[in-house]
Structure 1
Amino acid sequence: MEKLFKDEPVVLVDAYALIFRAFYALPDFRNRDGQPTAAVHGFLSGLPKLAACAEDLAGAPPEFVIFFDRGGPQERLAAYADYKANRPETPEDLKSQVPLIEEALAAMGLPQVAIHGVEADDSIASVARALESAGRRVLIASNDKDFFQILSDRIGLLRATSRSDEMDYYDVGALKRKFGLAPEAMVDFYALVGDKVDNVPGVKGIGEKTAEKLLKKYGTLDAVYANLERMPKATARCLSANRDNAYLSRDLVRLRTDLEVDVTPSALDPARFDRARLSALLERLELRRLAERLLGLAVER
């Protein structure tokens, strides 16, 4: 990747996004006791790759904070009981690996954030804004498109591609090239088109192209609804019939940035590892090569 900035970045990792990707992408690895290990292997082996990608962008090794969900998205479920209701139950084979990943991260000295009833997305967005205000450069590692709304001159997004060793980098310019819209318009964009992944309804009959045209012309969701009489009748009918869903969807997709999260980023630095604890864990999981790779990392500060 081309170096786009020169400050030491902080990488905020959406843990479950990477864990689920690893679980479904890799074969069903298990140790001799039958403990599944694919998600552990995929997630942990991805951290050095993520660090290298961030360093390629910045020219300096990054610091990390890892974010987990805990207890379900209570605030959004209270507003809309069907929020994320279309998602299948998390497989037990995946659930059993999350504590192992958390243990490995603790042994590596990497800070973890998990707030009961608060989605990791909201914690990430709040920490990103706080770091931005402190003058830090932030990279969010997640494929969640909700993060488009908080991109700025100092906040970027790293999204995984079909190639395991590559990631797409989004900043404000890349977002405008893809959607033709600024970050502040993305909440209203997904309020209109919805989000099938999270079961956010949006406005039935309004697709991405129409939503982009409406927001380019009128600017905001409120302005769109203030100008229904100027639109083609079919578009106006769709919007009028789904007004409540549009505003509900806006509330569901808007990330919170006002949470107070006390966390200090840390480098992926072998000097900080509890080597005995990490080695014992990965030996138990029969991930010896991964242990060698992680313990062999060299970070120049």
Structure 2
Amino acid sequence: MEHLVLIDGHHLMYRAYWAIPRTLKTSGGEQVNTVFGMASMLLNILSTEEPDSLLLCFDEGEETFRHQENETYKEGRAETPDDFYDQIPRVIELIDAFGIHHVSDAKYEADDLICTYAKAGEKNGMKVTIVSGDRDLLQLASEKVTIVIPHKGYQQAEYLGPKGVEEKFGVRPDQVASYKGLCGDQSDNLPGVLGIGPKTAAELIQKYESLDGIFKSLEGIRPSVREKLERDKEQAYFCERMAELVCDIPLPFKMKELEVGELPTEEIAEFFREMEFSLLLKRLQSLMQTPFGKKLFEATEDLVVCSSTKKDQLSLFS
């Protein structure tokens, strides 16, 4: 079965930014902690998942249709530091050096793009792996789709299929949006039904299946909870709609275009040398010696590893 890996680019960038010390800089003074973390995770994903097809999806930072429907959508999040944004062009250079496709859309979030490609992959009979810590994507888990939440770079990744989602949150993947409609999502500034937390939300959905089922059965729900539901009914449905993913965006790339061919070894190595990522050059060499790596990378002579005495090139993401 062909294996499609879809990566939530912005999520991985944030993880890299906060996990790697901001003191990691080139000898010329350029801050590269996010770039280093992203490069390290890409190597880990390639070696661990061995994808046949690969795509990174990004947010554009523009106001999507959700922002247009809800002016407070995602308000309240801590402001992203400027030195995170300063590294985005280098991250794009990194991805281009690998020869991997990446995509974004001003009207939609990365989640929606991932959803669209995941459904297309399923339709084509592919095994699909989604790399992201965004809980909205849990609604995509199926027999063919697995959500991977990376921890410590990718060393302790958590794999969630349908059963894993249900065990962790108490609801099925197809009920995740309704679950968020009830208990909300602080990260997206979705309040849900005020006074109803994750435990009560899961119990209600387990018993009544959906928001429609819950609101058709209000007489059977204890008064204290029923009062909250009646008060915030409109808000519950609105938050559910905000959490639902769009899965029918016109595909910017055809599925065939996402196939991982021979990756340009020298371009990757040259980028690592420019960034002074000596540790990653060594890891690239090691990956190239594996059976999958021999198929994945263009044959080349031994790579020249740049010398470095930096203690900041941490092993956390190795």
What is the TM-score of this pair, normalised by structure 2?
Answer: 0.85
Where in structure 2 are the equivalents of 1:39-54 lying within 5 Å? 39-54=34-49
In structure 2, how many angstroms separate the alpha carbons of the residues matched to 1:90 and 1:37? 16
| Identity score, percent | 30
Asked if structure 1 preserves the Cα contact closer than 8 Å seen for 2:74 and 2:188, the reply is: yes
| Number of corresponding residues | 287
The superposition leaves residues 45-90 of structure 1 with CA deviations (integer Å, 9 ceiling, x where unpaired) of 11121223324xxxxx443111111133420011111111111222
2:30 to 35, 41, 53: 35
1:16 to 7, 10, 13: 10
Asked if structure 2 preserves the Cα contact closer than 8 Å seen for 1:109 and 1:266, the reply is: no
Structure 2 vs 1, CA of residues 104 and 162 (structure 1 numbering), >3 Å: closer, same or farther? closer
The superposition leaves residues 206-227 of structure 1 with CA deviations (integer Å, 9 ceiling, x where unpaired) of 1111111111111110111122
Where in structure 2 are the equivalents of 1:204-223 lying within 5 Å? 204-223=194-213
Name the counterpart of 1:79.
69
2:223 to 233, 237, 240: 233
Aligned-partner residue type, residue 45 of structure 1 = S
Name the counterpart of 1:272.
263
Give unpaired runs (5+ residues) of structure 1.
1-6, 56-60
The CA deviation at 1:300 is: 4.6
Residue 101 of structure 1 aligns to a residue whose secondary structure is helix
Name the counterpart of 2:130.
140
What is the TM-score of this pair, normalised by structure 1?
Answer: 0.89
The CA deviation at 1:20 is: 0.5
Give unpaired runs (5+ residues) of structure 2.
296-318
Asked if structure 1 preserves the Cα contact closer than 8 Å seen for 2:97 and 2:271, the reply is: no
In structure 2, how many angstroms separate the alpha carbons of the residues matched to 1:22 and 1:62? 25
The superposition leaves residues 77-112 of structure 1 with CA deviations (integer Å, 9 ceiling, x where unpaired) of 111111111112221111111111111111111111
Name the counterpart of 1:195.
185
Aligned-partner residue type, residue 8 of structure 2 = D
Farther-moved stretch of structure 1 (8-17 vs 25-34)? 25-34
Where in structure 2 are the equivalents of 1:105-124 lying within 5 Å? 105-124=95-114
Where in structure 2 are the equivalents of 1:53-202 lying within 5 Å? 53-55=48-50, 61-162=51-152, 164-202=154-192
Structure 2 vs 1, CA of residues 163 and 265 (structure 1 numbering), >3 Å: closer, same or farther? closer
Aligned-partner residue type, residue 264 of structure 2 = F
The superposition leaves residues 149-176 of structure 1 with CA deviations (integer Å, 9 ceiling, x where unpaired) of 1111111100023575110101112112
Aligned-partner residue type, residue 61 of structure 2 = G
Question: What do you get for the CA RMSD once the two structures are aligned?
Answer: 1.8
Aligned-partner residue type, residue 12 of structure 1 = L
Asked if structure 1 preserves the Cα contact closer than 8 Å seen for 2:47 and 2:287, the reply is: no
Name the counterpart of 1:58.
none
Aligned-partner residue type, residue 50 of structure 1 = I
In structure 2, how many angstroms separate the alpha carbons of the residues matched to 1:251 and 1:295? 47
Structure 2 vs 1, CA of residues 196 and 227 (structure 1 numbering), >3 Å: closer, same or farther? same
1:258 correspondence with 2:248: yes
Asked if structure 2 preserves the Cα contact closer than 8 Å seen for 1:65 and 1:266, the reply is: no
In structure 2, how many angstroms separate the alpha carbons of the residues matched to 1:37 and 1:188? 40
The CA deviation at 1:36 is: 1.1
Residue 140 of structure 1 aligns to a residue whose secondary structure is strand
In structure 2, how many angstroms separate the alpha carbons of the residues matched to 1:15 and 1:39? 12
Residue 272 of structure 1 aligns to a residue whose secondary structure is coil
The CA deviation at 1:297 is: 3.1
The CA deviation at 1:240 is: 1.1
Aligned-partner residue type, residue 60 of structure 2 = R
Asked if structure 2 preserves the Cα contact closer than 8 Å seen for 1:152 and 1:172, the reply is: yes
Asked if structure 2 preserves the Cα contact closer than 8 Å seen for 1:51 and 1:62, the reply is: no
The CA deviation at 1:285 is: 2.1
